[in-house]
Structure 1
């Protein structure tokens, strides 16, 4: 999971608007939980916490483990490296963005239009567009619950960056009526 709503940094009266100051933090703020989920393949290391770190704010041992393996580091033993080493930080972000985690497609495949929803995806309301990316990243928390501030903020940041880059938003920006991936 990735928690962008916890890393926004913006406020309603911010210069240039609330989305001009987003994605400012390299670590999840506040007092985050340890995000340790029992997992035989990616066991938690005693005393380590797997809260959101890096540009994509990866969480949980089941993300730190495979991300570390992909980049040649044991991130289960040293999850803090994701916040403290900029190269590792962006490597984990690229890993999360590019890597499908079944049954989820990769964020990259969705945004580039190469992902095609299965019949089960379509029945779950998961159709191509930015909303599916939110579902991939944080569906269990943000999706399928109707309109909510977290998704609205995520869409606001997305639109701001699209505007900066001069690209269209595409369709299906929210996941309000999508069932989360299992």
Structure 2
């Protein structure tokens, strides 16, 4: 795959919540700071809004029909209590809208003249169609590929490459290298991998979360590369090597289109630096 004024409280997690997180989220707990209160994102993303956002995810034309469910997303988010939970209300809503926009682009089934418009067709796919390779980086010795396995894009964020499957599986409690199919066998696991990528810093890249909540502090190299906070920087983190540093990229514009629609539904503005056309990739 870094600080503005934060709303804080000294209240820790309740005991039942702690045990739920411990048994459900494995090693993720080691990075959770319980000084920030946990509120379910369902308060900001009720099921009615989720359904308004993903109008066609269960259309018969979508290969992921009935896979991505609202309860699975809410359960997955419990493993990442800072997601949608840092900063003022507008920032929290904007982060959720940005996350949903990015995963919508990654799984889109929309087209220009689609019913309800192209930005109503997110979460239509759960795995990459016609992958160009098995996405095995054989030079990565820390997360070696398992024979016969493909690390193609899967799940809402289209997690790909062995160096993502390995650490994601370790954090979430499944063997990402030997069993990458786990991402498409469980809706909750699929959402967890997307949130893991969103919340995890992968140097030199900051986390998408830190960028959207104002915790990103650009280095001198980042400033020289024009990598400034905003939705465009999130796109750079996710797929900057292919999409950023060029004008009018259709993929970038598609991500922006989703974000603009979702931000409107959440009742927030989209913030600065929507695109990454003037940013150097990481």
Provide the residue aligned with 2:9 in structure 1. Answer: none
- Map 1:125-144 onto structure 2 (within 5 A): 125-144=226-245
Provide the residue aligned with 1:151 in structure 2. Answer: 252
Provide the residue aligned with 1:29 in structure 2. Answer: 129
- Whichever of the two has the greater Rg, that structure is 2
For each residue in 1:139-173, what CA deviation from the matched residue of structure 2 results, as whole angstroms up to 9, or x when unmatched?
11111122211111111111121122111100101
Provide the residue aligned with 2:12 in structure 1. Answer: none
Provide the residue aligned with 1:56 in structure 2. Answer: 157
Residue 20 (str. 1) matches residue 120 (str. 2): yes
In the alignment, the residues of structure 1 paired with residue 181 and residue 132 of structure 2 have an alpha-carbon distance, to the nearest angstrom, of 14
For each residue in 1:12-38, what CA deviation from the matched residue of structure 2 results, as whole angstroms up to 9, or x when unmatched?
111221111123211112344211112
In the alignment, the residues of structure 1 paired with residue 130 and residue 267 of structure 2 have an alpha-carbon distance, to the nearest angstrom, of 34
| Number of residue-to-residue matches in the alignment | 181
In the alignment, the residues of structure 1 paired with residue 113 and residue 206 of structure 2 have an alpha-carbon distance, to the nearest angstrom, of 36
**Partner SS state of residue 237, structure 2:** helix
Which deviates more from structure 2 when the two are superposed, residues 2-11 or residues 33-42?
Answer: 2-11
C-alpha change, 1:169 and 1:3, in structure 2 (3 Å) is closer
In the alignment, the residues of structure 2 paired with residue 34 and residue 104 of structure 1 have an alpha-carbon distance, to the nearest angstrom, of 24
Check conservation: 1:8, 1:23, Cα contact below 8 A.
yes
In the alignment, the residues of structure 1 paired with residue 104 and residue 205 of structure 2 have an alpha-carbon distance, to the nearest angstrom, of 18
CA RMSD of aligned residues (A): 1.6
Moved beyond 3 Å, runs of 4+? 1-6
**Partner SS state of residue 120, structure 2:** coil
Check conservation: 2:107, 2:156, Cα contact below 8 A.
no
- Map 1:63-78 onto structure 2 (within 5 A): 63-78=164-179
Which structure: greater helix fraction? 2
C-alpha change, 1:112 and 1:6, in structure 2 (3 Å) is closer
**Structure 2: gaps spanning 5 or more residues:** 2-101
Provide the residue aligned with 2:146 in structure 1. Answer: 45
Check conservation: 2:106, 2:157, Cα contact below 8 A.
no
Give the Å deviation of 1:87.
1.8
In the alignment, the residues of structure 1 paired with residue 174 and residue 114 of structure 2 have an alpha-carbon distance, to the nearest angstrom, of 38
In the alignment, the residues of structure 1 paired with residue 104 and residue 280 of structure 2 have an alpha-carbon distance, to the nearest angstrom, of 19
Check conservation: 1:7, 1:29, Cα contact below 8 A.
no
